[in-house]
Chains A and B, each alone.
Chain A
Amino acid sequence: MGKLVALTGNIALATAMRQINPDVCAAYPITPSTQVIEQFSEYVADGLVDTELIAAESEHSAMSACIGAAAAGGRVMTATSSQGLAYMWEMLYIAAGMRFPVILACVNRALSAPINIHGDHSDSMGARDSGWIQIYAENAQEAYDNLIQAVRIGEQMDVRLPVMCCMDGFTTSHAIDTLELLDDKTVRDFIGEYKATHPLLDVEHPVTYGALDLQDYFMEHKRAQAEAMKNSRKVIVDIAKEYKKISGRGSIYFEEYYMDDAEVVMVIMNSAAGTVKTVIDAMRARGEKVGLLKPRIFRPFPYNELADALSNVKAVAIMDRADSVGAEGGPLFMEFKSALYGRKNQPMMINKIYGLGGRDLMLNDIEEIYKELREIKNTGKIKALSEYITVRGEEAAYGKA
């Protein structure tokens, strides 16, 4: 078994990067992900890795450099947050469209305006259609485990897609957490050597990347990209199982907490899931059949598996730490409604927008949501389909901030 250590989420990611030892890392620092590259740059300076570190002049340039390095044939990683991810936007699509398995550690943070540096999921949720695989982590341990698995998932020959590994800003990135590290050799054996598909540095076989692709071929390339994302579903399962063998840890598409007999369930991602577990423990001790479903993989969205997991549940609260302004609910809610549409056993479903800009979700807020779900289960009536909670000025029965 590995070594038990106490690290911040950011240092846990930097440690995983040191063990992965990528060929190139191009980055531009931004709160709260700064520490990832700061720490990793020390590993580079100390000669612990062979990585070429590129301190780019912006996130747009950082992702561009990652794409160039990936085209050259390298294993490439970077990290960012919030505005930094937003500034990478057009390059995110290019990394995915060119099918480069770039790995990005996204330390989730709110998007301006108003300016805010704290955790919510607006940044990565906004990038959900960019063609990147997205994996979410509750704590430093999961963030570390996900980053290592991401390398294998993205590099699989029938996938070859970039992977974004997300964790919450500050709550996970800056808090010191205990986690178990694998030893360096185990990680290196697990990820193996990267073999680029058509590296530009293979001068014996010159290729063109980024050629104009018009009405006659663009759609065929997009169809192939969609297939790669579809292929990643099985790969994610295989890699998670293989990783469990060497680590003893990890869920696949999602984690289930007291789901076997749960009547009312909360669906929540990342760090707040830990708080929900604490509430569940207390409520279960009183005999209440409450459960948690914590999605790990958001792209590709595991429609069937998630819908199956909710098939015996009466009422569900989908918790979104990002809004899709103008839609009826947050991104996670829309996905779940879509996943459950047409199914025989549909639970009643509500949506809560919580935690924007780092707003705390407290134990009693969570308990109130479970009470509301119980009320919905008993009466069959929904008062509000989607609403903000823990916000001042709302008439909600709970969540007075």
Chain B
Amino acid sequence: MKKKGWKELPIGGVILEAGNTRGYATGDWRTFRPVIDLDKCTNCMRCWIFCPDSSVVLVDGKVDHFDYDHCKGCGICAVECPENVKAIAMIEEAEAKEGK
């Protein structure tokens, strides 16, 4: 997204477009990222319900992956994942980026 100059901006810092966070990556300051083991996942949807940033992405009604552009790494999904399943692990972002 090309950044606008001061003359082009709406008055007073107001945001005119609803849902415009889609075009703005808010997850770039995450220190831990959730990683899911789909073999363990039972599709109970608890992570999907509890995620405060709507970053659990479903495909055909089943948990598929996380939206890392918007996931802040809060870890709620990993905590809410049932005790007998525990399909979500939180790993350090630096390690994830190094591909470990």
Contact = CB atoms under 8 A, between A and B. Distances in A.
B3 A210 contact: no
A210 B12 CA distance: 8
Contacts of A99: 11-12
A98 B3 CA distance: 20
A220 to B, nearest CB: 4
Nearest to B18: A206
Majority SS at the chain B contact face: loop
B16 interface: yes
Contact of B3 (A211, A213, A216, A223): A216
A100 B14 CA distance: 12
B70 to A, nearest CB: 15
A274 B80 CA distance: 72
B61 interface: no
Interface in A78-106: 97-100
Given A221-B6, A224-B7, A97 B14 contact: no
Contacts of A100: 12
Contact of A213 (B4, B5, B13): B13
A contact residues, range: 20 to 34
A224 B14 contact: no
B9 interface: yes
A210 B18 contact: no
B10 interface: yes
B contact residues, range: 10 to 19
B51 to A, nearest CB: 20
Contacts of B3: 216-217
B6 A207 contact: no
Interface string B14-34: 111010000000000000000
Nearest to B5: A220
A198 B4 contact: no
Nearest to A205: B16
Nearest to B12: A99
Contacts of B5: 220
Given A98-B14, A211-B15, A220-B5, 14 more contacts: A97-B12, A98-B12, A160-B11, A197-B14, A205-B16, A206-B18, A207-B14, A209-B12, A209-B14, A210-B13, A217-B13, A221-B9, A221-B12, A224-B6
27 contacts: A97-B12, A98-B13, A98-B14, A99-B11, A100-B12, A160-B11, A160-B12, A197-B11, A197-B12, A198-B10, A198-B11, A198-B14, A198-B16, A206-B18, A207-B14, A207-B15, A207-B16, A209-B12, A209-B13, A209-B14, A211-B15, A213-B13, A220-B6, A220-B9, A221-B9, A223-B6, A224-B7
Interface of A: 97-100, 160, 197-198, 205-211, 213, 216-217, 219-221, 223-224, 227
